[in-house]
Structure 1
């Protein structure tokens, strides 16, 4: 299978969820909860959406590690891909975050789970750059082509090109930085809302890259190895069509298949020929998450992919038992339980 599509993911089940006021200034995709809706009601709806995504991924054969977050001061913790990425060969990166109230989303229990269940050799921590006002918000700021080793990055407050260069040197990627703006000239806050790269297909809003030469370079680099390209419109981007992610699932008979995970809203925005092109290589798994999307991110933002080799299970019988308990009672999970459970 391709290095592009991880077969395991990390999700965070945030028990208190509301759109984050600290990120609204530069996130044009963010909106407020419906007028008159209490924070408790918003959180309840969001929790149901988080569970629905986890269930859908498990049903597609993706291994899902869920970590409960009971801290009510972390409104965006449902988006772990901004502080964490993992890489083949056993390397993990931890990133500097733009909003100060997001910086304590970084969790040692997540890192300990990775070290316990997967082969981790090195953790590279860039979070010490935050006091200098230098930020790179993980695979929100970068959309990584793990096959061709390219880091596509839209410049923004959340994607500093100096730390991008440092990341690319450390991890062996080619930096591909560009400006991306909407029709009003507002910079795109995260690259992963305008681009999704799969093994055989990519979805990218090239029209939002104003520099024609750079736009052509991005197109050429994405397709040089035969990958099909779906050009999204800004309208589709507003529906989160770009905020999708390719994963590797398992068929009922134990085979492998590519899964393109996205929101129901994103799926409905795609044209029939675009859907057909995706389905040439991927099964589309679409889940409605309208409450989560109030924060300006969608399914891709909720998923931290695990591109690490798995350690052999030490106690398979216990794993099976805990897996059954977790599937029946997902609300009781904590990070340590999920270490033993893979759907």
Structure 2
């Protein structure tokens, strides 16, 4: 009897199937240091215990996207080990900050299936929850991924495409307990721009760019324990290239957005996201943001801002899709998220 695991293929999934993912991971300051080294992240709330405590939190949490990557990485052996590509995200909420010493694990439920017309692959929709050692849900999201079939002749499942909300309503955002921006130090944060300084429809060119290196991508993908074959095995794709993990592009773009959005401190909602085109080593990532919406919150001095974060490999700003409605070839990422910002 074989003891190794080749991973699930499209025909191995069933609607309602619950996947309990191995292996739990206790996080420490090491994840923070490596995250800041790889991207490098500079938001003050995630860099300084003193700044976080002045904002009403017990200490500086782990970056929201670092927590996301850890939870996501747990799901890969069961969801996307044999993926062709990760396609999109929706209905994401960050429910509790993650602190050093917390232990994270992941559970997913299959909520949709659709075989592709070529009969060689299909799209699997899963809702994933990340839980801590107290069984509290720290984050949740839906993602959909294209997965190969092992047997092209395997019968197609009934097509079920989940009806997902286009956005997370502002009133459903969870503000961390105790968060208070009334004494916010804009000098230490790095920029003077507050919630009231941003207008819906405003586009911000974040100016800076980073060329993706193979070594850094491999370090990041291993750090998050992401085992998807497309990221490691150059023989897995017809073009012989290793696909850059989409989360690496997300974090790189979020970090680059610091220049112009240094005070968009906490990510609390993930409305939608698409990896529009593949990213490979040697591509230079630049990004721009569009302000989509704004909302006040019940937390003192805290506003919510909805942003579209677009990463490109051609440096274009403000351009997203062509006349045919498809993403332009230079667009790598289209991410719609909510962040918290001082009023």
| Class of the TM-score when normalised by the shorter of the 2 chains | under 0.3
Higher RCO (C-alpha 8 Å, min separation 6) = 1
Structure possessing the higher radius of gyration over alpha carbons:
2
Structure holding more strand per residue: 2
TM-score (norm 2): 0.26
Structure holding more helix per residue: 1
